[in-house]
């Protein structure tokens, strides 16, 4: 969420940021509403002071005078002032609500380094690591390999749950677990993230705080409890970011770093016809998520660190990947700067996103009312929140199956996973 005072200080910068997001100028409209709200609050405070004086005057007349005429005049005046107060409260509340509604639906401002552009075509290439495998045979897709291994079952998943679900068996099911445990161990032991196990059903206010509501409601699964609906999480980011909602932290507590392996759920509204095969775009998938809170002066460094942590997983799995800086039009709603890690998929012959690492600045902490105190300073401040995938498990499995596939359909395993697979070095064909 945006700070209207910052918009008032530099309306041109705000309008320029929204232009990069593909939105029209609106700083002046927001500032006008803010001034009306402040004017209404000022009048309301004057009327409240006036009412208090009149009430005191009425008390004095009531105790010192027997004149019913004087009492009637004062009562009439007090009543009129109370009506004015009621009207001012209503108007001020309405203006405040409109301003809040408008600010709440606006995306975060892109950082200065973020390139312009409306879609992925304008993303900026930063670096590439690893070499794509050169097969002497036609590369198979990961879902075809999964079926050869008797490890992926899409038809039975569709029978019990519908389209865009998968059932995993035996060695492929173990591979998913092995990948998650490997990622958690690296992030926890080596990079200092605190492991968290979370609920996958959350209240709407949690998703409002992270920025997933109201904009992305159609992409969420929701319970039918009208009084208190809950949502299946689209990412563990929503819970990890919301852990400190409404809290006042101390500066010395930062950085706060969390890692979580969880199932995630997305309705994939508007994604008809996209990646209907395989593991790339399912309604349910698992992911290892990273979230950090830190002070504003250290958030850029934390963003680079988080991205490097996610990259390290790909390096240890020896998967070819590249890093892209997303343009303003391709970033998420809450992000001010995002790096995408894209892994090579041989069958598709292209790179596909496997992680997004975003610095959200104070955007989410302001929505969640997360604040902190600086030693020796008065008042509270908003920390910066960051999130990233470290990594998406299904897409990592897809990349492993395709990049490590053998001519006969079996799959070699990278050395770092051997101990997580009970010493097995290969996924073998079904007998």
Q: Please answer whether residues 171 and 428 qualify as being in contact, where contact means their C-beta atoms are separated by less than 8 angstroms.
A: yes
Shared domain for 256 and 357, answered yes or no, is: yes
Given 69, 104, 139, which residue is the final one in a domain? 104
Shared domain for 416 and 312, answered yes or no, is: yes
Shared domain for 159 and 209, answered yes or no, is: yes
The pLDDT, as a whole number, for residue 219 is: 93
The pLDDT, as a whole number, for residue 383 is: 98
- The CATH number for 276's domain is 3.30.930.10
The pLDDT, as a whole number, for residue 332 is: 96
The pLDDT, as a whole number, for residue 218 is: 92
- The CATH number for 95's domain is 1.10.287
**174, containing H or E segment:** helix 170-185
Q: What is the dihedral of CA 391, 394, 398, 399, to 10 degrees?
A: 0
Q: Please answer whether residues 338 and 331 qualify as being in contact, where contact means their C-beta atoms are separated by less than 8 angstroms.
A: yes
**Domain encompassing residue 35:** 4-104
How many other C-beta atoms lie within 10 A of the C-beta of residue 381?
Answer: 16
Given 104, 139, 157, which residue is the final one in a domain? 104
The gap from C-alpha 261 to its chain's centroid, in whole angstroms, comes to 16
- pLDDT digit string (tens) for the chain, length 431 residues: 899 999 999 999 999 999 999 999 999 999 999 999 988 888 867 877 776 675 666 566 655 555 666 566 666 666 777 777 788 788 888 999 999 999 999 999 999 999 999 999 999 999 999 999 999 999 999 999 999 999 999 999 999 999 999 999 999 999 999 999 999 999 999 999 999 999 999 999 999 999 999 888 999 999 998 888 999 999 999 999 999 999 999 999 999 999 999 999 999 865 555 567 899 999 999 999 999 999 999 999 999 999 999 999 999 999 999 999 999 999 999 999 999 999 999 999 999 999 999 999 999 999 999 999 999 999 999 999 999 999 999 999 999 999 999 999 999 999 999 999 999 999 999 87
pTM for the whole structure: 0.91
The pLDDT, as a whole number, for residue 60 is: 63
**325, containing H or E segment:** strand 321-325
What three-state secondary structure class fits 132? Answer: coil
CA distance 282 to 394: 9
Judge whether 109 lies within some domain. Answer: no
Q: What does the block give as tokens for 2?
A: 């945006």
Shared domain for 132 and 42, answered yes or no, is: no
CA distance 366 to 360: 11
The pLDDT, as a whole number, for residue 7 is: 97
Q: What is the DSSP string of 10-36?
A: -HHHHHHHHHHTT----HHHHHHHHHH
> How many structural domains is the chain composed of?
2
């Amino acid at each position: 969420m945006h700070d209207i005072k910052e918009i008032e200080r530099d309306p041109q910068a705000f309008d320029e940021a929204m232009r990069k997001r593909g939105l029209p100028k609106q700083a002046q409209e927001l500032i006008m509403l803010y001034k009306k709200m402040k004017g209404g609050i000022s009048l309301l405070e004057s009327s409240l002071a006036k009412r208090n004086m009149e009430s005191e005057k009425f008390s004095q007349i009531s105790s010192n005078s027997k004149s019913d005429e004087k009492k009637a005049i004062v009562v009439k005046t007090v009543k009129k002032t109370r009506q004015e107060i009621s009207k001012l409260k209503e108007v001020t509340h309405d203006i405040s609500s409109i301003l809040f509604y408008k600010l709440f639906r606006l995306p975060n401002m892109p950082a200065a380094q973020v390139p312009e552009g409306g879609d992925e075509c304008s993303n900026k290439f930063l670096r590439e690591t690893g070499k794509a495998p050169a097969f002497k045979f036609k590369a198979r897709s990961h879902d075809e390999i999964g079926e050869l291994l008797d490890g992926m079952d899409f038809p039975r998943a569709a029978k019990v749950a519908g389209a865009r679900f998968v059932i995993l068996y035996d060695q492929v099911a173990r591979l998913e677990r092995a990948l998650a445990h490997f990622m958690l161990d690296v992030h926890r032991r080596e990079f200092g993230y605190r492991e968290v196990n979370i609920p996958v059903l959350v209240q709407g206010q949690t998703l409002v705080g992270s920025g997933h509501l109201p904009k992305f409601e159609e992409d969420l699964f929701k319970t039918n409890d009208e009084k208190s609906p809950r949502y299946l999480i689209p990412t563990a980011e929503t819970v990890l970011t919301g852990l400190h909602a409404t809290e006042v932290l101390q500066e010395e507590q930062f950085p706060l770093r969390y890692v979580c392996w969880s199932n995630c759920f997305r309705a994939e509204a508007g994604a008809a016809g996209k990646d209907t095969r395989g593991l790339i775009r399912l309604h349910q998938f698992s992911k290892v998520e990273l979230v950090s809170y830190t002070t504003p002066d250290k958030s850029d460094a934390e963003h680079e660190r988080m991205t490097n942590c996610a990259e390290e997983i790909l390096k240890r799995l020896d998967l070819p990947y590249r890093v892209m800086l997303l343009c303003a039009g391709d970033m998420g709603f809450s992000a001010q700067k995002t790096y995408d890690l894209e892994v090579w998929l041989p069958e598709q012959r292209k790179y596909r996103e496997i992680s997004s690492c975003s610095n959200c600045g104070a955007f989410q902490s302001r929505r969640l009312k997360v604040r902190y105190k600086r030693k020796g300073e008065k008042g509270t401040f908003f920390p910066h929140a960051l999130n990233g995938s470290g990594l998406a498990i299904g897409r990592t499995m897809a990349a492993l199956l395709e990049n490590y596939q053998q001519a006969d359909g079996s799959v070699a395993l990278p050395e770092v996973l051997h101990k997580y697979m009970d010493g097995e070095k290969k996924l073998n064909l079904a007998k």
